[in-house]
Amino acid sequence: MAAQGGNEVDTLRFLRRKAPELPTPDVKATWETGGRRYIVQDRVPGQTLGAVWHELDLSAKVRSLDQVVAVVEWWRTSTSSKMSSVTGGPVESLRWWSTGFMPWGPFRRKRELFAYFEDARGGCPGVVRDMLWRNMPDCRPWTFSHGDLHVYNIMVEDGNLSGIIDFATAGFYPVWWEYVQLRLACGAKPDHEWKHMLQLRMKDSCHDAEAAMTWATVCDELASLPDGVTDATVGWLREQFSNEGLRIEELA
């Protein structure tokens, strides 16, 4: 039993209804007290992939990869008309341009998500805002994403996938979100090695994957600038977007 975010129970029940054969925990009971939501669920057998990664040879790692990708690709067939939780409310996830897990959304259009991003950063100078907006990839279809596929959320037993856990951040996100999260929310080895393998496998199924990765990386870098936006920053932005062959345009 553990305290959970408000969306996780709804997500687990959503997945069990859609595909009970997929390796996700089964919710047995849930209640709220003291402003927290608690859940009792099946214990997923086995160990985390992170606990055994160093013991696996390449073929065993690839087998785990194949099995996880099969589940994730099935999840990605579930889409929505907006960025939201599975019940249509806000998602609760780590935003890579700021700190903390906060509810945000729902958003029906890319412009709404961009406006939220801009507001969360405290605004952007006009030239930077224009570049970011023009180069932000399309978000549709809003696609079901786990959002936190690190090695300690993957359970394995006897060399096979036994479950995927921790759906606190899951919901419908931009089609490229899962791919971007794999690189920007990457921990140390073995998580780095695992996510690199998973990212390579998922690249083709994520529309505008590399364009999205460049855009997200730029946003992440901008959020950490100590001196704000300078002329050098604008030049760097032009270089980043031009290198990726994106929709860079001359700005007055």
- CA atoms of 252 and 50, how far apart (whole Å): 50
- CA atoms of 228 and 230, how far apart (whole Å): 6
Give residue 93's pLDDT: 79
Q: Would you state the structure tokens that stand for residue 37, as one six-digit string?
A: 């939501």
Q: What is the DSSP letter of 140?
A: P
pLDDT per residue of the chain (252 residues) written in tens, 0 to 9: 454 557 899 999 999 999 888 888 888 888 888 877 788 888 899 999 999 999 999 999 999 999 999 999 999 999 999 999 999 999 987 665 555 567 889 999 999 999 988 887 777 788 888 999 999 999 999 999 999 999 999 999 999 999 999 999 999 999 999 999 888 877 667 889 999 999 999 988 787 898 999 998 888 888 777 666 778 888 888 888 876 554 444 333
Q: Would you state the structure tokens that stand for residue 170, as one six-digit string?
A: 């899951």
CATH level 3 topology of 2-243? Aminoglycoside 3'-phosphotransferase; Chain: A, domain 2 (3.90.1200)
